[in-house]
Structure 1
Amino acid sequence: MDKFTTLTGIAAPMPLVNIDTDMIIPKQFLKTIHRSGLGKNLFDEMRYNADGTENPDFVLNKPAWRGAEIIVAGDNFGCGSSREHAPWALKDFGIRSVISTSFADIFYNNCFQNGILPVVLPQDAVDALMRDAGHGANARITVDLERQVVTGADGTEYPFQIDPHRRHNMLEGLDDIGLTLAKSAEIGGYEQRIAQSQPWV
């Protein structure tokens, strides 16, 4: 998993509340077990018209936000089903952080396993960052995990809280598998001791 330390990038404003996982990645794209390739279908029903052409009114299709790495969203982002394909699609598109007042629990947890930082901020802070995001490439936002601060385009800082264990894992680029592999020497030593002391196991 990619490390997350500090990200400065374009933020796309998505003020809708209750953006659910089916909006993020519709069910017909859940057949794959691969984490790559889903970015082209991110927000598929909003990004594309019925004939497959791009919807020019959707924010990620507009020139100012095509390179967005951050989404500033309305309340309860990632609600709905528990599909892990939702953070897969976001990451494959290039989104590394989502800022909102709240997230659905399962989506929130899945983000940390896939290198996406979900940031919870008060409504007034999200409103200010939403205004910044509205300026596209002319107003970049910085998400600093080390300092636990989001910095708006005008330099205003908005501190956020995050579980220390999750913060450590993101900074080091460790998902659950990575955490296990980090202990491979200890695990190997334990298995060797058990093989010697209890060979019948």
Structure 2
Amino acid sequence: MEPFKTMTAKVAPMNRVNVDTDAIVPARYLKRIERTGWGEFLFYDWAHNSDGKLNGDFVLNKPEYKDAKIMVVGENFGSGSSREHAVWAIAQAGYRALVTSSLADIFHNNCFENGVVPVLVDEDTLNMIMENTETIPGYELTVDLESGEIYDSEGLQAHIGVDKEPEEKDISSSDQQGAGIYSEFVVHRDNEAHQFRSYTLQKGLDEIGRTLQQEDKIDEFETKVRGDLK
């Protein structure tokens, strides 16, 4: 899994709420057995007309959002069935981060295991990023997990919102800083889970990668068990 530390990239909008995994990847394509090639099926029924040709009116097909690597989406994104293919399609279409106020639980976990960074913000911040994406040509956002902040050139700044002392949070408030919009973000709303997931995303560690970190202990255990069986 590719590590994610910091990235500045163009943002594409998906301004809909409750987008489910069947919309992200229609069920009829799940019979494919390949692990790759899922990007072309992303939002297939929205992105294509009934004749199979690209729908030029679909937002992600518009030239202004070509090469976007961050997608800003409505709340409860990824609801419905637990198909991991939905995250595969997003990642393989080139998106490295999703900005939203909430993700469906299983989809949220699948993001972590496939290197897609969930950037969870409050509704006001989400609405501002969505508006900027839709109205500012070439709008870009920086997501920096190393420093624990996201920001743009329009005055938006959001800092990690967990495991901070109260006075540190006060420093990032609009009253203290003056001009600009200051808020918070997390990759997971639970403090401990946020710390763990932020670390694994930065290191590029999925479940297999985390297991291989314990390879010496696994080998030691297997040697001991084999000895006990003699």
TM-score higher than 0.5 here?
yes
Q: How does the TM-score come out when normalised to structure 1? A: 0.94
Report the number of matched residues. 199
Q: How does the TM-score come out when normalised to structure 2? A: 0.82
Corresponding residue for residue 77 of structure 1: 77
Larger RCO: 1 or 2 (CA < 8 Å, sep 6+):
1
Amino acid at match of 2:29: F
Alignment map for 1:13-162 (pairs within 5 Å): 13-135=13-135, 138-159=138-159, 160-162=185-187
Q: Shift of residue 135 of structure 1?
A: 4.3
Give the stretch that moved more between structures: 152-161 or 50-59: 152-161
User: Which one of the candidate residues 192, 195, 207 is aligned to 1:176?
Assistant: 207
Aligned residues of 2:6 and 2:145 also touching (Cα < 8 A):
yes
CA distance in 2, matches of 1:136, 1:39: 26
Corresponding residue for residue 199 of structure 1: 229
CA distance in 1, matches of 2:207, 2:113: 7
SS at match of 1:90: helix
Amino acid at match of 2:107: F
Q: Shift of residue 148 of structure 1?
A: 2.6
For structure 1, the residue ranges without an aligned partner over 5 or more in a row are none
Overall identity of the aligned pairs, in %: 42
Aligned residues of 1:35 and 1:89 also touching (Cα < 8 A):
no
Aligned residues of 1:132 and 1:152 also touching (Cα < 8 A):
no
CA distance in 2, matches of 1:115, 1:129: 22
Corresponding residue for residue 185 of structure 1: 216
Cα 1:136–1:182 change in 2 (3 A) is: farther
CA distance in 1, matches of 2:149, 2:134: 20
Aligned residues of 1:91 and 1:116 also touching (Cα < 8 A):
yes
CA distance in 1, matches of 2:198, 2:31: 31
Aligned residues of 2:26 and 2:43 also touching (Cα < 8 A):
yes
